[in-house]
Amino acid sequence: MKKTRGGGDEAGRFAYEGLDRVIHEKARLGVLTSLVAHPKGLLFGDLKQLCGLTDGNLSRHLQILQEAHLVETVKTFESNRPQTTCRITAEGRKQFLDYLTVLEQVVRDAAAATRSEEASSSPLGLAST
C-alpha cells in the first residue's frame, strides 16, 4: 500500500493538472481528435457529422477553441456557396499532444487501479489516525 496521508509524496497523485478543461470537454475532445486526424482541415458540415453535433453546438465549441487559439476557421466560396473550413493550429496540435500525454497517464492509472483491487488488504485502505 502506498503512503498517502499527511500530504506525503502521493499528494496530488490523481490531480491531473494537465487535463486542460478547454480540451477535456467531451465534444471539444471529439472536435480536436477529428482535426488532428485531418491537419489540412475539415469542412464544418463534415466535422459536425464526425462529432455527432448540431450546428449550434459545433459553432459554440469552435468559438471556445478559437478563443484559446487551438483552432482556426477559414471562409471560402465553392460554386458561389460559402464554406467554412476548420483547422487545428500549430499551438493547438502542441497543446493537444500535451493533453494526450496526461490522458494516457489517466488510462494507465485507472487500468492499474482496477487490476490491483484484489491485492488490497488494509481495512479502510489507509491508516486512520
Q: How far is the CB of 51 from its own copies (least distance, A)?
A: 5
Q: Mask: binding to its own copies, 54-73, rule CB under 8 A, as x and -?
A: --------------------
Q: How far is the CB of 114 from its own copies (least distance, A)?
A: 6
Tell me the three-class secondary structure of the chain, residue by residue.
Answer: CCCCHHHCCCCCCCCCCCCCHHHHCHHHHHHHHHHHHCCCCEEHHHHHHHHCCCHHHHHHHHHHHHHCCCEEEEEEEECCEEEEEEEECHHHHHHHHHHHHHHHHHHHHHHHHHHHHHHCCCCCCCCCC
User: Does position 26 bind its own copies by CB under 8 A?
Assistant: yes
Count of residues in contact with its own copies, rule CB under 8 A: 65
* One of 55, 67, 69, 106 touching its own copies (CB under 8 A): 106
Q: Which is nearer to its own copies, 66 or 103 (CB)?
A: 103
Q: Please compute, for residue 74, the number of CA atoms within 13 A of its CA located in the half-sphere on the CB side.
A: 11
* One of 22, 49, 58, 92 touching its own copies (CB under 8 A): 49
Cell 480536436 belongs to which residue? 32
Give the interface with its own copies as residue ranges (CB under 8 A).
4-8, 10-17, 19, 21, 24, 26, 29-31, 33-34, 36-43, 45-46, 49-53, 78-79, 83, 85, 93, 96-97, 100, 103-104, 106-107, 109-114, 116-117, 120, 122-126, 128-129
